[in-house]
Amino acid sequence: MLRFDDGEVAIREFLPEDKFRLAELANNTKVSDNLRDGFPSPYTVADAIQFIDMCLKTRPPQVFAIEYKGEYVGNIGLNKGDDVYAKSAEIGYFLGEPYWNKGIMTKAVRLICGYGFISLGIVRIFTGVFSYNIGSQKVLEKCGFIKEAIFKDAIFKNGKICDEVRYAKLLSQ
Ligand SMILES: CC(C)(COP(=O)(O)OP(=O)(O)OC[C@H]1O[C@@H](n2cnc3c(N)ncnc32)[C@H](O)[C@@H]1OP(=O)(O)O)[C@@H](O)C(=O)NCCC(=O)NCCS
């Protein structure tokens, strides 16, 4: 099983038993409000089983469980592109609300970027953050991502329009 540690924070492949805590932590509108509508809300154990199955089938792995002090606390993943985007990957993540603002995601993002650049052969990792999500923008900036653009009015979430802030980190930086 692939596992990368940074002290109290680790990213590792999913275990089938993560499904219960994943469903509990993901079933929170404070989490889903910051994610695409494809993230189920409400989030059930059946959703968690389907998601974990998909992650375990992807070889080499691209999506990992985040552990804090040995406990499952959230997810982080890369989504590798294809065609001319084969050397790029989109990063996505969420952490259960009880664990926010302890520096956990900053460590998890650093770990998965190392994996993406070294093991997956990626040269560019990017993402788009909803403009109101200041915490996620801070995480990316602490990890050396550069704000590349603001896509004005790109997001329609919960009946409201907002901007998307686009970030990227390059292997060559
Ligand atoms: C966004 C999220 C990943 C942050 O994870 P985290 O482990 O709490 O992040 P960290 O503790 O590493 O860093 C967060 C930073 O943002 C700051 N922050 C958080 N909310 C903030 C706010 N509303 N305004 C200003 N700063 C804020 C924290 O103080 C911290 O900065 P610091 O290290 O300088 O003190 C987590 O809140 C989460 O999963 N949210 C829901 C899902 C989500 O937003 N996913 C990302 C979609 S792009």
pLDDT for residue 36 is more than 90: yes
Q: DSSP 3-state assignment of 56?
A: helix
pLDDT in tens, 103-157: 999 999 999 999 999 999 999 999 999 999 999 999 999 999 999 999 999 999 9
What is the predicted pLDDT for the residue at 106?
98
Mean pLDDT for the stretch of residues 77-99: 98
Query: What's the pTM?
Result: 0.98
Mean of per-residue pLDDT scores for the chain: 98
pLDDT exceeds 90 at position 171: yes
Q: Which atom of ligand 1 is nearest to the CA of 104?
A: 7
Mutate to test the pocket of ligand 1, among 37, 138, 158 (most ligand atoms within 8 A of CB): 138
Q: Which band of pLDDT confidence, cut at 50, 70 and 90, is reported for residue 173? A: confident
What span, in angstroms and rounded, lies between the C-alpha atoms of 35 and 16?
23
Which domains, ranges and CATH numbers included, belong to the chain? 3-170 (3.40.630.30)
Q: Which atom of ligand 1 is nearest to the CA of 130?
A: 48
pLDDT in tens, 64-77: 999 999 999 999 99
Q: Which of 17, 24, 6 shows the shortest CA–CA distance to 96?
A: 24
Which residues have CB under 6 Å of ligand 1?
31, 34-35, 93-95, 100-106, 127, 129, 133-136, 138-139
CA atoms within 13 A on the CB side of 160: 9
Could you give the percent of the chain with pLDDT greater than 90?
99
pLDDT at 25 over 90: yes
Question: Looking at the predicted structure, is the pLDDT value of residue 81 above 90?
Answer: yes
Helical ranges in 27-163 per DSSP H = 29-32, 45-57, 104-118, 134-142
Distance 84 CA to ligand 1 centre (A): 32
Confidence of residue 11 (pLDDT cuts 50, 70, 90): very high
